[in-house]
Amino acid sequence: MSWSATCRSTLRALVPALVLGTWAIVVQEVVPAAQSARRTVWDGVYTEAQAKKGMAAYQEQCSFCHLADLSGEGFAPALIEDTFKSRWQDGNLADLFIIVKQTMPQDKPASLGDQEYADIVAFLLKSNKYPAGEKPLEPDPLALKGVGFRQ
Ligand code: HEC
């Protein structure tokens, strides 16, 4: 092989490596930025009106087992204070939404509409003293996944 042919083939091998290298730098810079934009339940992720609707649905669908003041009874755990906070502290709103939707009410799981489950989750947040905000909590697991509990 002539010197210039060797040179060309080295270049051909190098160019993609350089391009990939540039991408690696871009990706490294984008990811931490996305993480710092992460939201939590302290950012006002439901509205007062929604929590009010959720309270009515909760009293109808959930209070029979978890009690009207959410303090729990027998096998049905409390949905407030330490029991609630330690259960969800490492989770996100998608975990809570999906578990409530797929397993509750225990005697007829997944029997309510997605919107009603979202309203009930808003009421659970309100009952645990997380602040209300401007926008309602959407029944969209992909969006809810980005909302953590830990500040
Ligand atoms: C028939 C009784 C009953 C009803 C009605 C009921 N629950 Fe439950 N719930 C339970 C029991 C028992 C458990 C504990 C066992 C389990 O997690 O399945 C529980 C657990 C839970 C948990 C904790 C799950 C976990 O993984 O930590 C949440 C949150 C919850 N219920 C929310 C609700 C909501 C919201 C409603 C109304 C839509 C509701 N429950 C209705 C009996 C009930």
**Per-residue pLDDT tens listing for the chain (151 residues):** 556 665 566 556 655 555 555 555 554 554 444 455 689 999 999 999 999 999 999 999 999 999 999 999 999 999 999 999 999 999 999 999 999 999 999 999 999 999 999 999 999 999 999 999 999 999 999 999 999 999 8
**85 and 47 within one domain:** yes
**109 and 83 within one domain:** yes
Q: What is the number of alpha carbons within 13 Å of residue 3 lying toward its C-beta?
A: 0
**21 and 48 within one domain:** no
Name the 3-class secondary structure at 99: helix
**124 and 70 within one domain:** yes
Which residue segment(s) compose the domain that 90 sits in? Answer: 41-148
| Token pair of 52 as six digits | 């009010």
Give the CA distances from residue 81 to residues 54, 67, 112, 144, 151, in Å, rounded to whole numbers and listed in that order.
18, 14, 25, 21, 16
Q: Is 144 in the pocket of ligand 1 (CB under 6 A)?
A: no
Please report, for the domain that includes residue 132, its CATH number.
1.10.760.10
Q: What share of the chain is helix, strand, coil (3-state, %, to 5)?
A: 60, 5, 35
Task: List all residues 6 or more positions away from 7 whose beta carbon is below 8 Å from its beta carbon.
Answer: none
**131 and 61 within one domain:** yes
pLDDT at residue 116, rounded to an integer: 98
Q: Is 105 in the pocket of ligand 1 (CB under 6 A)?
A: yes
pLDDT at residue 38, rounded to an integer: 86
pLDDT at residue 20, rounded to an integer: 54
Name the 3-class secondary structure at 2: coil
Domains held by the chain: number: 2
Distance (angstroms) between ligand 1 centre and the Cα of 132 equals: 23
Which numbered atom of ligand 1 lies nearest the CA of 117?
Answer: 38
**68 and 14 within one domain:** no
**21 and 3 within one domain:** yes
Q: How far apart are CA 73 and CA 78, in angstroms?
A: 7
**125 and 70 within one domain:** yes
Q: Is 65 in the pocket of ligand 1 (CB under 6 A)?
A: yes
Q: Is 42 in the pocket of ligand 1 (CB under 6 A)?
A: no
**49 and 21 within one domain:** no
What pairs with residue 91 in β-bridges?
Answer: none
pLDDT at residue 104, rounded to an integer: 98
Name the 3-class secondary structure at 73: strand
Distance (angstroms) between ligand 1 centre and the Cα of 102 equals: 10
Which secondary structure element, helix H or strand E, spans residue 39, and what is its range? strand 39-40
For the entire predicted model, the pTM comes to 0.82
Which numbered atom of ligand 1 lies nearest the CA of 124?
Answer: 35
**25 and 45 within one domain:** no
**128 and 61 within one domain:** yes
**19 and 49 within one domain:** no
